[in-house]
Amino acid sequence: MNSLVVKDLCKTYIVNKRQNHVLRNVNMEVKEGEMVAVMGPSGSGKSTLLYTVSGMDHVTAGKVDFFGRDISKMKPGEMSDLRLDEMGFIFQQMYMLKNLSIYDNIILPAYQSKNGRGKEKRQEINERAKGLMHKLGISEIAENDINEVSGGQLQRACICRSLINRPKMIFADEPTGALNQQNSKEVMKELNRINREGTTVMLVTHDMKVAAKSDRVLYIEDGNIKGEYGFGKYTAQEEARERERKLSNWLMEMGW
Ligand SMILES: Nc1ncnc2c1ncn2[C@@H]1O[C@H](COP(=O)(O)OP(=O)(O)OP(=O)(O)O)[C@@H](O)[C@H]1O
Ligand SMILES: [Mg+2]
């Protein structure tokens, strides 16, 4: 089964009456359980690709199937339910609400979901949130304000939030972009684990170390996928260097 099937996807932005063809007939697939990284120069359309295939932004033309459902034709309400219930999002800028604790930020999407109504459901959500926070090592900051935690902790909290509704797929735009090496490594460890447990992941990154831990890397240039490099699943820390070396050679061929 495919998580995502993208056919002839085009995205054109119009700014000051000028057309900017950002995505030009992109075709791609992400298999269920796969972890795919998207790399490419700045401005090549990576974020735009992530946003259009996840229904955060409209497509100009083409078709996007998410687990067999055509999201390019969905009504806004239907789309936002799907995003809330079946997709998880992680960004470079870690958006959390300022007047809520870390814990409340994490459970919010679950309380917002139609599946999260009623006392029993809420109890379940609270258990799940605690479990996730424990897993990601941030139980002790549950009641902290979002400005009372480190960048790495905040990003791990964002991962908890993205997982609270047990999404089928996670979309991440430079999830480690604002983190130092150590925190970046920890976040990747969590993403790899989540992925091994069955959640499909599509992430955009500039970081070779991050991309080397994915199953497959897509290289996008001028709004088109220029090539792809398949690794297979990342399993052991020992392989990391070798994978980075291979990826580096391939990226050089791609003109990165
Ligand atoms: N909302 C928008 N309105 C108009 N133009 C946009 C919009 N978002 C992106 N663009 C344009 O689309 C192009 C691709 O942008 P995008 O953000 O997808 O690039 P990117 O590959 O993610 O770059 P970076 O690596 O710097 O994040 C750029 O030329 C950008 O100016
Ligand atoms: Mg971007």
Q: Please report which ligand is nearest the Cα atom of 220.
A: 1
Contact in structure between 138 and 57 (CB atoms under 8 Å): no
Q: What is the CATH number of the domain that holds 160?
A: 3.40.50.300
Reply yes or no on whether the pLDDT at 109 is more than 90: yes
Q: Is the pLDDT of residue 89 over 90?
A: yes
The stretch 121-149 carries a mean pLDDT of 94
CA–CA dist 38, 45 (Å, integer): 10
5: which strand partners? 29, 65
Note whether 164 and 129 are within 8 A (CB).
yes
Predicted pLDDT of residue 95: 85
Mean pLDDT of 180-208: 93
Does the pLDDT of residue 214 top 90, yes or no? yes
Counting from 1 in the atom list of ligand 1, the atom nearest the Cα of 50 is 18
* Structural element, H or E, at residue 192: helix 181-196
pLDDT given for residue 161 in this prediction: 95
Can you name the residues that pair with 15 across neighbouring β-strands?
18
Range of the domain at 90: 2-254
Give pTM, 2 decimals: 0.94
Q: What is the 75 CA–ligand 1 centroid distance (Å)?
A: 25
* Ligand closest to the CA atom of residue 22: 1
Å from CA of 103 to ligand 2 middle: 28
Mean pLDDT of 98-125: 94
- The answer on pLDDT for 237 being more than 90 is no
21-34 core/surface letters (b: 16 or more CB in 10 A; e: else): ebbeebebebeebb
Is residue 254 predicted with pLDDT exceeding 90?
yes
Mean pLDDT of 108-129: 94
Q: Is the CB of 153 under 6 A from ligand 1?
A: no
236 against 103, higher pLDDT = 103
Count of domains observed in the chain: 1
The residue whose C-alpha atom lies closest to atom 16 belonging to ligand 1 is: 45
Q: Does the pLDDT at position 33 exceed 90? A: yes
Average pLDDT rounded to a whole number, residues 89-98: 89
Give the side-chain half-sphere CA count within 13 A for 145: 4
pLDDT of residue 187: 87
Mean pLDDT of 197-219: 97
pLDDT in tens, 38-54: 999 999 999 999 999 99
With a pLDDT cut of 70, the percent of the chain lying above it is 100
19 in contact with ligand 1, CB cutoff 6 A: no
CB atoms within 10 A of CB 184: 21
| pLDDT exceeds cutoff 90 at 126 | yes
pLDDT, residue 235, reads 86
Q: Is residue 58 in contact with ligand 1, taking CB distance under 6 Å? A: no
Please say whether the beta carbons of 96 and 158 come within 8 A. yes
